[in-house]
Amino acid sequence: MSKINYPHDNVNGINYQRIKQLHPLVEYCESHGIKLRRSGSRWVGRCPLHDEQKGEAFVVHPDQKWECYGRCAKQGDVTDLEMLLYGGTVGEAARRLDPVAGTVTTNNIISFPSPPILEKPKLLPTKKNPLAFPYVLSDEEIRQCHRFTVRLLEDHAYMEQVATFRQWKTETIRDLALDGYLGRDDEGHFCFNSAAGCKSRWREGAERRFKFQFGKSWLWRGELMPSVAAVYLCEGETDAITLIDRGLENDGHTVAVGMQGATLNIEPWALLFTNKHVVIAMDNDEAGQKADASIERILSTTAKSIKHFWSSMEVA
């Protein structure tokens, strides 16, 4: 999933972004005998790290990161894969992929950006936080999201139960989980992983309940917006999943994004909607109507076009 940030993105004079550009992950895998097939926006295949004989636990995500949802549960980028396949340290693997990595000569000093420093993010794009996440996940929180996702993927009966209750296809839940967006927390609740946190949701009697395991409200799947032409901005994650389940994203140019609450102020992230065709998809109730009006005002100077789609008030 594109939310994962690895601690070695730029250290010891090695430009890992350059390495990823030199060695696109799918091409690297195929050139090293790792057979992949396309599945939606991802590529999947047998994991080469634990000699997987059946299944397709090895997933390559669109952001040039890979992850194994099988026994070894490893993850990383192309440099990590090189290291795990052929040995050595991360730095040695990087230099195998890019011989000039970390090199300094007297005539030509090769310099790279300093390592990113995690700090309290500002609600403005910065080099360290280009999408202005309201919260930066720690390494432990990233691992927790991964653990929740694996737990959901391993419980096929639970996925089928949710699919039946929500009238979604089980494959939709599985695909979103493979992308890292869904999970099941330690209390057994369905949870939504985002680039800025993890939100659990459940029912107690007739009452809907939710809480953040960590992080803050943001735009669920919002990091996908820069690469598409059209955005359906939904009032919540489940509304977005329903549209995905109905085939909204099959054209490859549209993405469904869930606001984590109708009261979320999206103004700090209006830049992400620049020149996008936006469909505001709020619930047809008082809160949704207020949110629709506010969003249209905020995006009127950035979006290429704005349309409105009123969904039925959620009943489950």
From the list 130, 150, 30, the residue with the least C-alpha distance to 78 is 30
Report the helix count and the strand count for the chain, using DSSP H and E: 9, 16
Q: Does the pLDDT at position 114 exceed 50?
A: no
pLDDT of residue 265: 86
Q: pLDDT class for 99, splitting at 50, 70, 90?
A: low
- The whole-model pTM stands at 0.61
Q: For domain 10-97, is the CATH number 3.40.640.10?
A: no
CATH entry, 219-311, from 3.40.1360.10, 3.30.230.10, 3.40.50.300, 3.30.70.1450: 3.40.1360.10
Average pLDDT, the chain: 83
pLDDT, tens digit, 9 for 90 and up, residues 192-219:
999 999 999 998 887 788 899 999 889 9
Residue identified by tokens 């699919």 is 163
As annotated, the residues of the chain forming the CATH 3.90.580.10 domain(s) are: 10-97
DSSP alpha helices (H): ranges in the chain? 16-22, 25-31, 78-86, 90-97, 139-154, 156-166, 170-178, 237-245, 286-299
Pairing of strands 42-45, 254-259: unpaired
pLDDT of residue 308: 94
pLDDT of residue 28: 85
Give the list of residues 6+ apart from residue 30 with CB closer than 8 angstroms, or none.
36
pLDDT, tens digit, 9 for 90 and up, residues 215-262:
988 999 999 999 899 999 999 999 999 999 999 999 999 999 999 877
Residue 33's φ and ψ, nearest 5 degrees, are 80, 15
As annotated, the residues of the chain forming the CATH 3.40.1360.10 domain(s) are: 219-311
pLDDT of residue 103: 45
**Average of pLDDT values for 89-93?**
83
